[in-house]
């Protein structure tokens, strides 16, 4: 009969050290995966008001300064799924939505579709710089 050392008495059963190493490795991989997942929509400063313009930049449709509406929209965008539109052809949005800080400086601009669009996710908002659509269905036109 074969003789086994004390560290691994059964070759078919992993020893305690191997199990510890596997657990540590699993935790490290999990932490790496969590740290790699980031929100697709983030703002670097506070939004004071929103400005809705025609897509070509002419003709202001409305200005929204209601902080509850702004907060709800930002929360919807932050919690939404997103989909790359880099390889998609689709018509331009109806409007341009500018997020403005207190001094009136543009923080970010998104395209806003009047009706929900289905571009991998269903939503109204498209980021032309990141080339992604957000699955946020928050309607800015009615009743605001």
Q: Which residues contact 84 (CB under 8 A, 6 or more apart)?
A: 120, 131, 132
What whole-number percentage of the chain has pLDDT above 90? 37
Residue, of 36 and 67, whose pLDDT is higher: 67
Mean pLDDT estimate for the chain: 81
Residue, of 48 and 44, whose pLDDT is higher: 48
| pTM recorded for the entire structure | 0.68
pLDDT of residue 17: 79
Residue, of 104 and 28, whose pLDDT is higher: 104
Beta-sheet strands, E only, within 3-121: 49-54, 60-64, 82-84, 95-100, 106-118
Q: Model confidence over 51-64: pLDDT tens digits?
A: 999 988 777 778 99
Q: Per-residue confidence at 109, pLDDT binned at 50, 70, 90?
A: very high
Domain parsing of the chain, residue ranges: 1-37, 49-134
Lowest mean pLDDT among 13-27, 59-73, 109-123: 13-27
pLDDT of residue 119: 85
Q: Model confidence over 71-88: pLDDT tens digits?
A: 999 999 999 999 888 888
């Amino acid at each position: 009969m074969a003789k086994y050392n004390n560290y691994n008495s059964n070759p078919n059963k992993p020893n305690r050290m191997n199990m510890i190493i596997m657990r540590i490795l699993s935790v490290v991989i999990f932490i790496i995966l969590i740290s790699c997942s980031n929100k697709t929509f983030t703002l670097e400063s506070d939004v004071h008001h929103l400005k809705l313009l025609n897509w070509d930049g002419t003709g202001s449709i409305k200005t929204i300064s209601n902080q509850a509406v702004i907060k709800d929209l930002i929360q919807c965008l932050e919690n939404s799924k997103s989909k790359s539109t880099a390889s998609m052809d689709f018509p331009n949005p109806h409007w341009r939505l500018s997020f403005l800080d207190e001094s009136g400086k543009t923080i970010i601009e998104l395209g806003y579709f009047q009706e929900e669009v289905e571009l991998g996710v269903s939503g109204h908002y498209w980021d032309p710089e990141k080339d992604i659509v957000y699955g946020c269905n928050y309607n800015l036109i009615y009743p605001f």
